[in-house]
Amino acid sequence: MIILIASLLTILTFCILLLIFSPKIKLLHLAKKYKDTEVLFSPVGGIVNLYQQSFEKYGDALYFIRDLIQKKPNTKAILYNLGVDIVVNFQDAELVKEVHQSYSDYYEKLKGILTLQYLFDKGMLMTDGDEWQKQRKLLANTFLFQNIKSRLPVTKQVVQEIYSSKQLDLSKPINALHMSEKVTSDVIFQTFFGISFRGKQINGVEIQKELSNVLIEGFNYIQSSFYYKLKMVILKEKAVGFKPFKGEEDLLKRMKNLRDTTEEVIQNRLKQIKSGNLDISQSELFLDILLRDYIQKNSESEKDIQQMIDQFMTFFFGGTDTTADLVALTLYHLSHNQNFQTKLRQEIKSIINNFEELNYDNLNQMNYLQCVIKESLRIHPPAVGVLPRVCIKDHKVGQIEMKKGMLMDTHFIGVLNNPKYYDNPQDFNPDRWNDSKKMESAPFSPFGIGKRSCIGQHLGMMNAKVIICFLVMNYLVKPNHQQKLRMSLNTVYTPFNDDLVYFEKIN
């Protein structure tokens, strides 16, 4: 009996080791087969482990990719493992363009990522195929020029209220990320629901902060929990909620509270419409567009209500964290580059005399503001790439054969920091974008590429421009020399510390 047990344990150990290390064998085989590819391997967690290790060692979760590409700019693809799965991460600009423009329908989103699946599963971020196309078509009009333009007064008002000098303690470092999250979340709430949620709390904190916290803590949980990584390897999308440990159980409860709060607002608006107290026939609010579709279908389906919640969570996340990160990082770069900040302030003041004069037309005349934001996006894109996608049909991208079941993703940060495309890519230099002829051929895709690029990118850019315009007009942005920028990767690429700048009022 003892011999039998020992034999079974030996076989089990061998199987586990084979399961853990077989991806490395496959990766090395692919690297030998395809020229100019690089292998990154870590047992079980794969690249998720490498993000954490890079952050702990260098203070930047993506330093290892940035460093690899700057040393080997001709890299076609990075080959890595995610659990036992093999991922091809395209880095050559032409291959990135090819896979996202020519073969986007050959892939489906990877499921099983805890917070993303629970909060966004049926929203545009996570859907595929006909369902994604239907949602995109339904909401496309919301992002037309005229509708985006009409939202600028709301953004201006919120910016002035939250960033007024009366609200700030100028003797201390400014929490620019948190303050900008307040602005962007309030704008998104008013754009989606038509009402402000400012000050509303859930689970004891402001709602926009709680969503951000849940996403960050969920990603950190995946990084730190061997158990959850193992569940993802074995169960894929069924991992979420299966025999959860306490950390996952607590996150699920908090996410349920977020969903319940959102559903309450949706149901209340639906009751107003059905009772005849609210006419939404001409409304361009996101929620009203979804509710019109719901009513026209004569739907009573709980599934459709849950999809609206997923859609709100998707737009709230996409319009809040990414834009706030862009603003905070732009302010950080301007604080360390006073010459560029002065040049930007001079441009703004040459176009408008005061913030009240700002409108969509003169905002778009601020060409140097566009250069500054593009340079910030190039160095630190909040959305560093696409979510891993599963190949559903064999095809070739360049010379690389993508087989059904393989995974693909793209870290845009590699392309955006590649010396083959950008001189001195580590330097913050907005002036590089003034050379429109030279930069015309430079690959620039911080919002994605192809038909699945971010539908809300123009709204996000407008909001970021309005915030930065107001702050640079009214404050001198100075660096906090006591703090060093540390970049973590959760669901977005974001500053780990939020006390990087000081504001000094300009009289």
Q: Is the pLDDT of residue 17 over 70?
A: no
Length of the chain: 507
Which helix (H) or strand (E) element contains residue 77?
Answer: strand 77-82
What pLDDT is recorded for position 112? 65
Whether domain 34-505 has CATH 1.10.630.10: yes
Place of tokens 């545009």: 124
Q: What confidence score (pLDDT) does residue 319 get?
A: 81
- Scanning the structure block, which residue is given the tokens 């951000």? 212
The answer, yes or no, to whether residue 140 has pLDDT greater than 90, is no
Residue pair 402/408 in contact by the 8 Å Cβ criterion: yes
pLDDT tens readout for residues 211-242: 878 887 887 787 677 777 777 777 777 778 88
Residue 257 near residue 202, CB atoms below 8 Å: yes
What Cα–Cα distance (Å) separates residue 221 from each residue in 228, 247, 316, 342?
Answer: 8, 7, 22, 42
User: Binding site membership: which residues?
Assistant: 454
Q: State the binding site for heme.
A: 454
* pLDDT above 80 (res 468): yes
User: Which residues, other chains included, contact 416 with Cβ-Cβ below 8 Å and sequence gap of 6+?
Assistant: 377, 378, 379, 381, 422, 425, 443, 444, 445, 446
CA 507/CA 505 separation, integer angstroms: 6
pLDDT digits 0-9 by tens, 52-108: 999 999 999 999 999 999 999 999 999 998 878 889 999 999 999 999 888 988 998
Is residue 464 over pLDDT 70?
Answer: yes
Q: What local confidence, expressed as pLDDT, does residue 66 receive?
A: 93
109 in Cβ contact with 387 (< 8 Å): yes
Residue 230: CB partners within 8 Å, gap ≥ 6?
44
pLDDT digits (tens, 9 = 90+) for 146-201: 778 888 998 999 999 888 767 788 889 999 998 898 888 888 888 878 777 777 78
* Structure confidence at residue 304 (pLDDT): 84
* SS3 of the chain: helix, strand, coil, percent, to 5: 60, 10, 30
**Residue 447, pLDDT score:** 78
The band of 1, judged by pLDDT with boundaries at 50, 70 and 90, is low
pLDDT tens column, 372-402: 999 999 999 998 888 888 899 999 999 999 9
What are the phi and psi torsion angles at 369 (to 5°)? -60, -40
